[in-house]
Amino acid sequence: MVRLGLSIRKSKLKKEFPKFESHTDSMEMRLKTFTYLLLFLGISLLAKGNVYVQSNKAKLLTQPKLNAEGSGLKIGEVLTPITEQGLFVQVRVEEKTGWVSKLFVSPLPPGNQMKLGITSNSSEAVVARQRASDFTKTAAARGLSETQKMRVRGEGDLYDFESLRWLESVPLNQESPFSKEEKNSPSVSVTEKQSPMFWMSPGLPVLAETKAEVKMGRSLAARLLKKYNLVRDLEFTRYLNSIAFRLGSASSRKDLEFRVGVIESNEINAFSCPGGYLFLTTGTLKKIQTEAELAGIIAHEMGHVILFHNGEFKESNVFVDILSGLLSPPGSEVVNTAMATAITEMEKQFFETGRDAKLELEADEAAVGLVSQVGYSPLGLSSYLNTMSKLDGTETLKKTHPETNLRIAKLVFIESSVPTEGTPFVVDRWSEYKNKIGK
């Protein structure tokens, strides 16, 4: 009765005050947008329950520092979080407690890597296609009134999936950047010479959360590529992705194919999308002096993905996705309304609001930890930030990131606690490629 009364009252108000309807609709839209945004906010590892070891670099440390003493952990081992401190989480495993870097553990259980551009042939998808086909036949008799709402929203005007598919088609360069002498050196572990998927079991599935994250990231990346032209230089793109491949091999996100693309813009900036899609502007690349600086920038953007700074992603509704695909024009991609709303909020972070300062500083710390694990100087990112602090064209970056001098000061402290002994440094190949960016 109360709800009926409110409904009648609302109806009367709409008739008497036409502006009330538009105001109400606006409020409802804001509430819906806020709700979708909450779905993608990052959550502490403590709130996720157990975490899983997903990197051979993981150690149970005596202190929350990468250079602390510790014992090795097995991939797939289950850890129980106790508390967190910066980039480290204190955990309990069997009868022992210690610290482990968030770079090497994940709230997701081990899962196989999702190969981009491959359509699922699972029985679930087949059943969903059949259900979608039956549903569309029924709806067709009703004039499609029930299904038109599921059509792709603004795909032609807002997204460039064609450029994204080019980036996804670039073969991943898995060659080692070590010199021949270093590759044959006993100081280079066996795992350094192998694919990062060497430990994966053929029986492991691709996680539903990974599929949902990649789907969201693809759409956000396609939205970004509609704003900027993608530089389609095959050799240079393979070079960038070889760095990302190496960095990703040391991290917990072996379920993702990290992809790095170059976009045309004089502005100095870089972008990270869920699912491992990373973009650097030509303006950024022109100011880089060494491959260590380049690796530091890429590792910072990867850090956002590895540390779930984009939030959690739940399994998408396969039935609705396939139904939307059947209703959309041939060759198009599916972006439903809820996803489009979340993408718009993420896009605002790129250009207006930025992420929380704490997350940016955490990504800086993650960058130092990652690069030092695979043979790059940990000083690369701070060196680049020092150069950037004196440049023009960084307005958006400064608006969406913490003050540069603060970042440098934090990095100097972190760099001093990163172990580099026994790690062979990679050959700096930047001089071979930097002329491809232009002047």
Q: Please tell me whether the overall predicted TM-score, pTM, comes out greater than 0.85 for this model.
A: no
Question: Nearest CA to 304 among 373, 262, 354?
Answer: 354
Confidence (pLDDT) at 133: 55
CA distance linking residue 127 with residue 123, whole number of Å: 6
pLDDT band at 309 (very low <50, low <70, confident <90, very high): confident
Percentage, residues of the chain above pLDDT 90: 40
Q: φ, ψ for residue 181 (rounded to 5)?
A: -65, -40
Distance, in Å, from the CA atom of 343 to the CA atom of 324, rounded to the nearest integer, reads: 18
Q: State the pLDDT at residue 39.
A: 43
* Chain position carrying tokens 């050196």: 185
Which pLDDT tens digit goes with each residue over 26-42? 555 554 444 444 444 44
The predicted model gives 269-288 an average pLDDT of 94
* Residue whose C-alpha is closest to residue 333's, from 133, 171, 128, 165: 165
Contact 61, 68 (CB under 8 A): yes
Q: Quick one: which of 315, 208, 302 has its CA closest to 251?
A: 302
Residue with tokens 């079991």: 201
Question: What's the distance, CA 37 to chain centroid?
Answer: 16
